[in-house]
Amino acid sequence: MLVSPLDWGLGHSSRMIPVIEELKKHQNRVTIVCGLGSYDFLRAELLGFEIIKIKEKRIKYPQGKINFFTFLDWIFVMLFNTVNEKLKIKKIIREKNIEVVISDNRYGLNFKGLECYIVTHQICPRLPKGIKIFQRISDFVFIAVLKRFKKVLIPDLETGFSLTGKLGADSSDEKKFVKIGILSRFSSEKNIEITKKYDYLILISGQEKQRTVFEKFLLKKISKTDKKILFVRGVFSSQISELKDCNNIKFLNNLTGKKLMQAFLEAETVICRAGYSTICDIMALNKKAIIFPTPGQTEQEFLAQRLNKKYGFVLGDNSLSF
């Protein structure tokens, strides 16, 4: 089997960890293919697995507002990567005698003669306001592409109030579009009890330059607080120096695996971006969270609004105080 998560932030990779581990339990030979941004993270999380990295274009976030030209650039990158990933991974499939492909949001990984599945919570991605008039066309195109896969696996609650709402709305073919419950690497650990050490876990994530913008915003907010805070910056480069701890605030560049799970459990409240994988991790551990959507990222803006005051989530804004 070949598993390949999208290299657009670490969320796509993190939620595929329980899928990969489950495949291994059933004696499957699993090859993982990922982008450069996910490679070090997956190597740290999945010891003993064959992980192959491929080079591809990265999505770039501006420091200011996302405009129409930013969106056009994203479309170009997505189209380029769709063609690029298909060509590179096709070669790996031949070399490794792959029979089954499971991808996370990689629309190009559909191959004739193989069982190809795609994991996505975005059946109908929300378009920015400026091009909202094309929403129906966009929905039609995405659903048509997704229907080419053997099954579309939607990581969302199977019953009750769905997390994804309109994002995962297509139910015209329930055999093709299947809700599989939320995916989280912490799902099996939700009943663990750990003594609270922190008032807040601040978890920075996402693409630059918005990762740095969010970090600076929160550093300013906590500069005079006496609350106990664990501040995880979400940077994996060894060239980035760590921030110095103070009496009530501990800084870490990154956390992975059981150490990150422990940090979630030791905190009263989590402050983070509204990335879907992070939301699922928080749900799995039954935590409270203040979520900030990445500006201009329509998926996160939609999710943050939809989940505000539901399941323990609160929409964050500039009035945040400690």
pLDDT exceeds cutoff 60 at 207: yes
171 confidence band (pLDDT: 50, 70, 90): low
Rounded to an integer, the average pLDDT of 63-83 is 72
239 confidence band (pLDDT: 50, 70, 90): low
% of the chain at pLDDT higher than 90: 56
pLDDT exceeds cutoff 70 at 68: no
pLDDT exceeds cutoff 70 at 283: yes
Distances 30 to 12, 26, 33, 159 between C-alpha atoms, Å: 17, 11, 10, 31
Domains of the chain: residue spans and CATH: 2-179 (3.40.50.2000), 187-315 (3.40.50.2000)
User: How far apart (Å, rounded) are the C-alpha atoms in residues 105 and 75?
Assistant: 14
**What is the per-residue pLDDT across 19-59, written as a single tens digit (0 to 9) for each?**
999 999 888 899 999 998 889 889 988 988 999 999 877 76
Q: Residue 62 has what pLDDT?
A: 61
pLDDT exceeds cutoff 70 at 64: no
Rounded to an integer, the average pLDDT of 77-97 is 88
pLDDT exceeds cutoff 70 at 63: no
Mean pLDDT of the chain: 88
